[in-house]
């Protein structure tokens, strides 16, 4: 019979067990991580430096860039070490730390995206009230609440994991410690951990998604009532980047956490996890900059100032 002793280490399978692709994956993920750092730090710096971007939407976006940077840093360096060095073991304490930090930034991002959807709702449906409704104080409270709700989730998930015990041979079929997969691997009673996970999904994940859905139903209804095609185009263009970020984030997230599955070997989950932990944090700053006139104008002004100082 397998021992139920509290294992001090767990094994991670990584992204793939095919040794022929290890170098290619390492270079690909390293490049992705470097672009993530450059893109998100650049976005944060630009928003802080440019008065043109001192508005509620960009305040939320700077916090989203910070959260994306932290999410990627929580997962990617450890994954790179596993790919390059074959380091597949992780300590129980390291796994707990990863669950805490990842749970914090995952839920924070959910609520930041919800706050951004609400911001777009007010801007399009109630433009005259926008300065009053989206005041600096209101925006600050929304961002602070996002981090506090993320912290609530991370504390709950970490507490749930502390009650789990694992066999010495336990292997997580993923490249990071995922709480839902750890619950399925546990050799102890998982009632408390499952309860915390379901409460977290119901009270944190679902409401943030509902805010997004309700906001965009109202936005679409408002846009359809605009008589001119040009007016509709302008209204839609203000939401395009946010809609792209929402679709790439919530798609794999729903697949991973809101669709229950009992098996512990889920290949599709692995690539969904790569998408929202590695790829999306890299894409978000480019999604918001490439199609955004204000961001492009801020870059141009910043370059002019830099050239003026040079000469």
Instruction: Compare 297 and 5 and report the one with higher pLDDT.
Output: 297
Six token digits for residue 83: 């790919």
CA 153 to chain centre: 14
What percentage of residues in the chain have a pLDDT greater than 70?
87
pLDDT 10s digits, 209-264? 899 999 999 999 998 888 888 888 888 888 888 888 888 888 777 766 556 555 54
pLDDT 10s digits, 53-107? 889 999 999 999 999 999 999 999 988 888 777 777 888 888 889 999 999 999 9
Cβ atoms of residues 100 and 179 within 8 Å: no
Note the pLDDT of residue 30.
Answer: 93
> Is residue 154 scored above 70 in pLDDT?
yes
265 CB-near residues (< 8 Å, 6+ apart): 173
Give the number of other CB atoms < 10 A from CB of residue 190: 18
Give the number of other CB atoms < 10 A from CB of residue 100: 19
Note the pLDDT of residue 153.
Answer: 93
């Amino acid at each position: 019979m397998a021992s139920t002793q509290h294992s001090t280490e767990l094994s991670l399978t990584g992204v793939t067990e095919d040794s022929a692709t290890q170098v290619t994956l390492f270079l690909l993920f390293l490049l992705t991580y470097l672009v993530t750092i450059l893109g998100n730090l650049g976005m944060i710096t630009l928003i802080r430096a440019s008065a043109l971007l001192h508005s509620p939407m960009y305040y939320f976006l700077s916090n989203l860039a910070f959260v994306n940077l932290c999410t990627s840093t929580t997962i990617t360096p450890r994954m790179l070490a596993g790919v390059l060095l074959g380091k597949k073991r992780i300590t129980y304490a390291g796994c707990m730390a990863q669950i805490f930090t990842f749970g914090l930034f995952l839920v924070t991002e959910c609520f930041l995206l919800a706050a951004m959807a609400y911001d777009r709702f007010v801007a399009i449906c109630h433009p005259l009230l926008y300065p009053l409704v989206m005041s600096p104080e209101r925006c600050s409270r929304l961002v602070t609440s996002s981090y506090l709700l993320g912290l609530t989730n991370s504390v709950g998930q970490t507490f749930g994991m502390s009650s789990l015990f694992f066999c010495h041979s336990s292997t997580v079929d993923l490249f990071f410690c995922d709480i839902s997969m750890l619950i399925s691997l546990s050799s102890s009673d998982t009632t408390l951990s499952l309860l915390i996970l379901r409460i977290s999904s119901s009270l944190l994940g679902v409401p943030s998604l509902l805010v997004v859905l309700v906001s965009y139903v109202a936005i679409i209804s408002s846009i359809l009532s605009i008589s001119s095609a040009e007016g509709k185009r302008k209204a839609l263009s203000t939401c395009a980047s946010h809609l792209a970020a929402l679709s790439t984030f919530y798609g794999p997230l729903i697949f991973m956490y809101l669709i229950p599955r009992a098996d512990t070997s889920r290949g599709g989950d692995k690539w969904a996890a790569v998408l929202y932990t590695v790829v999306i944090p890299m894409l978000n700053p480019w999604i918001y900059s490439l199609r955004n006139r204000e961001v492009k104008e801020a870059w141009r002004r910043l370059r002019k100032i830099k050239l003026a100082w040079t000469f």
